[in-house]
Structure 1
Amino acid sequence: MKLKEIKEILSAQVIIKGSEELEILKGCGADLMSDVLAFSKEKTVLLTGLTNPQVIRTAEMIDLSLIIFVRGKQPPQETIDLAKEKNIPLMTTSKPLYQACGLLYSAGLRAEKLSKLE
């Protein structure tokens, strides 16, 4: 799924622009960065309610492609500056986490397999 499709599906506003043709293969919705580290991979969008710089650091460690803040949350300038430095696109949507994940799943974006738990 392309970044521009995700933006449309979630009626998201861009904070830091990324390539609209960026291909996103998986989705992850979480507020626990330890879960994100354990189960996410590259070409993944992270949907989260956390807006602190640790989210950017986590995304950089595992090469996440996009971060979307849910519930209309706006990150502090420190988070935005770090995302710019690391070249990580940011968006925000007014939708709650559960609904945003459901909309993307219904549109064909799938979750990362949690093989460690299966």
Structure 2
Amino acid sequence: MNVLEIKEAVNAEILTKKGNLDVQYQYAFASDLMSDVLAYASDETLLITGLNNPQVIRTAEMMDISAILFVRGKKPSKETIELADENNMTVIATDYIMFKACGLLYENGMRGLE
């Protein structure tokens, strides 16, 4: 799924101006623990989180993750969005809880990391 398909599936809003909307994501990883992201995620992964701080962007940067979906209606600060733009990341946000967002993405062909 690309970012526009993800956006459609979870009724999300794209918050960043930069980032590649055509990247295909086959896997998603959902966590509010950035230590788990460091341990399990990869560069082909959509990160799904409700943790709303710049550390999410820094963690994604270290793992070469280029798209982050914030759940539960969380909207990152202007500074966090600017940091994502500086790193050419796409940040999107949905009002759905994490479980619902993951279920909708799975229903639309996204798979979790094994």
TM normalised by structure 2 equals: 0.94
| Paired position in structure 2 for 1:116 | none
Deviation of 1:45 after TM superposition, in Å, equals 0.6
| Paired position in structure 2 for 1:52 | 53
Deviations 1:13-55 (A, max 9, x none): 0101433322112101100000111000012111111110000
Larger Rg: 1
Contact 1:26 1:43 in 2 (8 A): yes
Asked if residue 27 in structure 1 is aligned to residue 28 in structure 2, the reply is yes
User: Given residue 8 of structure 2, which amino acid in structure 1 is its aligned partner?
Assistant: E
Worse overlay, 26-35 or 71-80: 71-80
Taking only the aligned residue pairs, the percentage that are identical comes to 50
| Paired position in structure 1 for 2:6 | 6
**Secondary structure of 2:15's match?**
strand
Deviation of 1:61 after TM superposition, in Å, equals 0.5
Deviation of 1:57 after TM superposition, in Å, equals 0.4
Q: Aligned Cα RMSD in Å?
A: 1.0
**Aligned equivalents of 1:2, 1:14: Cα separation in 2:** 12
Runs of 4+ off more than 2 Å? 17-20
| Paired position in structure 1 for 2:65 | 64
| Paired position in structure 2 for 1:91 | 92
User: Given residue 96 of structure 1, which amino acid in structure 2 is its aligned partner?
Assistant: I
| Paired position in structure 2 for 1:16 | 16
